[in-house]
Amino acid sequence: MQGSGRVILAEGGACSELRSEAFGLIIFGASGDLTHRKLIPALFSLYRRRLLHDSFFVLGCARSLMSDEVFRTKVRESLTSLPDGDFSCLDGFLARLHYVAGDYTVADLYPRLRVAVEGLEQRYGTESNRIVYLATPPSLFCPIVQRLGTFQLTCEKRHPDCRVSVVVEKPFGKDLTSALALDAELHQLLNERQIYRIDHYLGKETVQNILMFRFANAVFEPIWSRQYVDHVQVTVAESLGVESRAGYFEQAGLLRDMFQNHILQVLALVTMEAPVSFEAERVRDEKVKLLRAIRAFPMANLDEYIVRGQYSDGQIEGRRLPAYRSEQGVAPDSSVETYVAAKVLIDNWRWHGVPFYLRSGKRLVGKATEIAIVFKKVPYSIFTPFSADALGQNVLVLNIHPEEAVALTIQVKSPGPKLCMSSLMMEFRYRDVFGVTPPDAYERLILDCIAGDQTLFIRSDAMEVAWTLFTPILEKWSADPSCIPYSAGSWGPAEANRILEPGHYWRTPSSYSES
């Protein structure tokens, strides 16, 4: 039996959200999906909430030929198609948008770009803070940065307090060798403090709240260890298939797409030691220490630790769903995995012996992202005739999707003269408690980039450790391309159960949506 508790927001509290510094943002790939679906809406939301400095500009750059006005018209169309209908300040935002067209691989673009950037920096007074966002395929990262350097567009010496930041999207390499090569090439052109490897998962409110829960509440941190935690589950489930991303997904697969970055970063936040301060490098130091403590997967009996699957045809609520191999752009004999479940062990004092179950997949029952910390059972029951095994376990669930929420399951006595035990879930949703929808992850990450704060961005050594962990698996899979089929509309292949330790089972996410 399960009930819902009630949460009341206490008086007081502290807030450190401030308006941004002045900045100029240059977006390569300005005509693309990422720019119009994520970056521009995030910037507009910040502008509407008055979190952007009065002095800023956005300069789009792409191959498509268009004027400033045409670019603004396209942005207007993108923004006004969003469900939020408050566009009273849209004209003021659009006036800050500018555009330069050109081929990224042709040197002719960059002198024109430099003239445009320097003119806008003078006009808006943003000379000290220049941000370059590479919303392009990774193959263009180095050619673009190299030409930017040639024309002094990444130089930090032009102004006493100048900062130039370069934001790169995933995928950052496809294995350890390619990632190190890309990293080495970027470091020939940029300092590590200039490189912002973005992972949008780290911008989500609930993900950020992991550290607040752990290190701002004395009640949780003492029990956040092997002495009290039985196991942890991280689930990232999607009901959609590959949709329009088949070309990318056929090259990447789910292990590269989700585990090497998003899921591993979330795991690090859940398990890292307390940093000495909330300063970027101290937080990232602890994340890297944790990642280095993850036990390497044993290649000899890999199937006991990781399972991969690929969705076959199926249905959700009567709607027929095609198999992965039937999707447009997918090879008819593809062996690319669309589902991965893994058991991870951490060899350090805090977590030794605690299994961490990580899973992610496409075309599952619903869309859900949650972190569940399952605590150990009580050692002995005084409530005859209930044994300790009969009493439910305490579970702390951090929901990231479909709603950002936190829930804690505890055991209570049901009302009445008899001794009846019930599980009670105390839950709060950000929307209900704070009266607002949590901002998009890109909003927080853009603000941090403007401020020069790299706390939520991936450092070079963390990227290297992640690839070191997963590259041997990718190499083994390339030699043995077999993939376990699972029905679209299920929770994945039944074979995922074989990695679970005795007494453990996969949780059904406490909430999920069909889209």
| The last residue of a domain, from among 122, 154, 169 | 169
Give the pLDDT confidence score for residue 7 in this predicted structure. 44
Catalytic residue among 98, 200, 262, 401: 262
For residues 485 and 253, what is the distance between their CA atoms, to the nearest angstrom?
15
Tokens 């956040």 correspond to 224
Is residue 143 located within the same domain as residue 234? no
Q: Is residue 211 part of a domain?
A: yes
E runs forming strands in 282-388 = 306-312, 314-316, 319-321, 339-344, 356-361, 368-375
Tokens 């067209």 correspond to 101
Q: Is residue 120 part of a domain?
A: yes
Q: Is residue 472 part of a domain?
A: yes
Query: E strand or H helix at 428, and its extent?
Result: strand 421-429
For residues 436 and 404, what is the distance between their CA atoms, to the nearest angstrom?
11
Is residue 386 located within the same domain as residue 265? yes
Q: Is residue 196 part of a domain?
A: no
Q: What tens-digit pLDDT sequence spans the chain (515 residues)?
A: 344 444 444 444 554 555 678 999 999 999 999 999 999 999 999 999 999 999 999 999 999 999 999 999 999 999 998 887 788 899 999 999 999 999 999 989 999 999 999 999 999 999 889 999 999 988 999 999 999 999 999 987 766 678 999 999 988 999 999 999 999 999 999 999 999 999 988 888 878 788 888 898 898 888 999 999 999 999 999 999 988 888 889 999 999 999 999 999 999 999 999 999 989 999 999 999 999 999 999 999 999 999 999 999 998 878 899 999 999 999 999 999 999 999 999 999 999 999 999 999 999 999 999 999 999 988 887 887 877 777 888 999 998 888 888 899 888 877 766 777 778 888 888 778 777 777 888 999 999 999 999 999 999 999 999 999 999 999 999 998 889 999 999 999 999 999 999 999 999 987 776 65
| The last residue of a domain, from among 144, 169, 194 | 169
Q: Is residue 279 part of a domain?
A: yes
For residues 469 and 294, what is the distance between their CA atoms, to the nearest angstrom?
8
Q: What DSSP letter does each residue of 96-139 carry, written as one string?
A: TEEEEE--TTSTTHHHHHHHHHHHHHHHHT-TTEEEEEE-S-GG
Domain of residue 332: give its range.
Answer: 202-499
Is residue 365 located within the same domain as residue 223? yes
For residues 358 and 307, what is the distance between their CA atoms, to the nearest angstrom?
11
Q: Which residue in 144, 476, 184 sits closest to 303, CA to CA?
A: 476
Is residue 148 located within the same domain as residue 248? no
Is residue 157 located within the same domain as residue 233? no
Is residue 217 located within the same domain as residue 163? no
Is residue 136 located within the same domain as residue 233? no
206 and 473 Cβ atoms separated by less than 8 Å:
no
pTM of the model: 0.91
Is residue 305 located within the same domain as residue 254? yes
Catalytic residue check, 262: yes
Task: Report how far apart, in Å, the C-alpha atoms of 70 and of each of 13, 73, 98 are.
Answer: 45, 5, 10
Give the pLDDT confidence score for residue 9 in this predicted structure. 43
Is residue 133 located within the same domain as residue 225? no
Cα end-to-end span (Å), the chain: 28
- Under DSSP, the state recorded for 364 is B
| The last residue of a domain, from among 147, 169, 191 | 169
Q: Is residue 300 part of a domain?
A: yes
- Under DSSP, the state recorded for 15 is -
* CATH (domain of 376): 3.30.360.10
Is residue 164 located within the same domain as residue 94? yes
Q: Is residue 505 part of a domain?
A: no
For residues 145 and 139, what is the distance between their CA atoms, to the nearest angstrom?
11
Is residue 345 located within the same domain as residue 391? yes
Is residue 350 located within the same domain as residue 211? yes
What are residue 43's phi and psi, to 5 degrees? -65, -40
Tokens 């008055």 correspond to 50
State the pairing for strand pair 56-62/484-487: unpaired
Give the pLDDT confidence score for residue 156 in this predicted structure. 77
Q: Is residue 71 part of a domain?
A: yes
Number of domains in the chain: 2
* CATH (domain of 48): 3.40.50.720
Give the pLDDT confidence score for residue 432 in this predicted structure. 80
For residues 153 and 13, what is the distance between their CA atoms, to the nearest angstrom?
42
